[in-house]
Amino acid sequence: MNAAKGTSPRAVLFDVDGTLVDTNYLHAVTWWEAFRQAGHTVPMPDIHRSVGMGADRLIGHLLGDERDRDQDARISTAHKVLYAEYFPKLAALPGAAGLLRAVAGKGLRVVLASSAGGEELAAMRAAIDADDVIAAATGGDDVEATKPAADLVEQALRRAGVPADEAVFVGDTVWDMRACGKAGVTGVAVRSGGIAEEELIEAGAMAVYEGPADLLAALERSPLVGPGA
């Protein structure tokens, strides 16, 4: 049984980019520049809508299967270098730390599930400043395939120590919702990443909130708490 259909959750898995930290548009800009340096003009809206995928999928999604794959590593590295300049400036979204602490205060395990690599994930955790309530974290370096594959969600479940029907996933993109759907985990979405509510629901979100502060305010009535929590 799905957590939202009668079983109280024991863990909440959180995406980080765009869900807890205000990074999606920074990613769009730095991916745009990385593509430009490699001789590709990729429209910014297309890049924005692809944020949430790991680099292993995003480049192919935007340039297609007929691209010169020898450029992939160069483009990915350029994005990492450009984006790393923002590490000291990253800012948590309003309510992010409070949401994690409130969830942990309910006795639920808080686990991060991000496509980001180690240094990037560390920079975002520093921006959130709530490591005292984060039980575990998994990133793109820990799996073979990133979102929308289910690997990250499944790895986060293992680190949470709970089955899929006792967890809820919170994310901000359609890729998050598809990944948790494939893993059999209830998906809850926030719009802080810039994606429309209708798209998130179509991708499988059970509920949609404006951002972490909105979800925090509605926590008692949300799928994160569930019946009997």
Alpha helices (H) in the chain, listed in sequence order: 24-37, 44-50, 55-63, 72-84, 96-105, 118-128, 151-160, 174-182, 197-202, 212-217
Average pLDDT over residues 16-45: 97
Whether 13 and 99 map to the same domain: the answer is yes
Q: Are 225 and 106 in contact (CB under 8 A)?
A: yes
Domain count, the chain: 2
Whether 72 and 154 map to the same domain: the answer is no
Whether 37 and 52 map to the same domain: the answer is yes
55 band by pLDDT with thresholds 50, 70 and 90:
confident
List the 136-138 sheet strands across, edge first: 136-138, 109-113, 11-14, 167-171, 186-190, 207-209
Assess if residue 227 is contained within a domain: no
Assess if residue 166 is contained within a domain: yes
141 band by pLDDT with thresholds 50, 70 and 90:
confident
- Per cent of the chain over pLDDT 70 is 95
Range of the domain at 57: 24-85
At which residue do the structure tokens 């944020």 appear?
A: 51
- pTM score: 0.93
Q: What is the pLDDT of residue 31?
A: 98
Whether 16 and 61 map to the same domain: the answer is no
Whether 98 and 169 map to the same domain: the answer is yes
Cα torsion at 201, 202, 205, 206 (round to 10°)? 70
Assess if residue 42 is contained within a domain: yes
Whether 126 and 200 map to the same domain: the answer is yes
Q: What is the pLDDT of residue 147?
A: 87
Q: Are 179 and 152 in contact (CB under 8 A)?
A: yes
Assess if residue 228 is contained within a domain: no
Whether 131 and 18 map to the same domain: the answer is yes
Whether 97 and 193 map to the same domain: the answer is yes
228 band by pLDDT with thresholds 50, 70 and 90:
very low
Whether 149 and 170 map to the same domain: the answer is yes
Tell whether the model's pLDDT for residue 62 goes beyond 50: yes
93-104 pLDDT tens trace:
999 999 999 999
Q: What is the pLDDT of residue 87?
A: 97
Assess if residue 161 is contained within a domain: yes
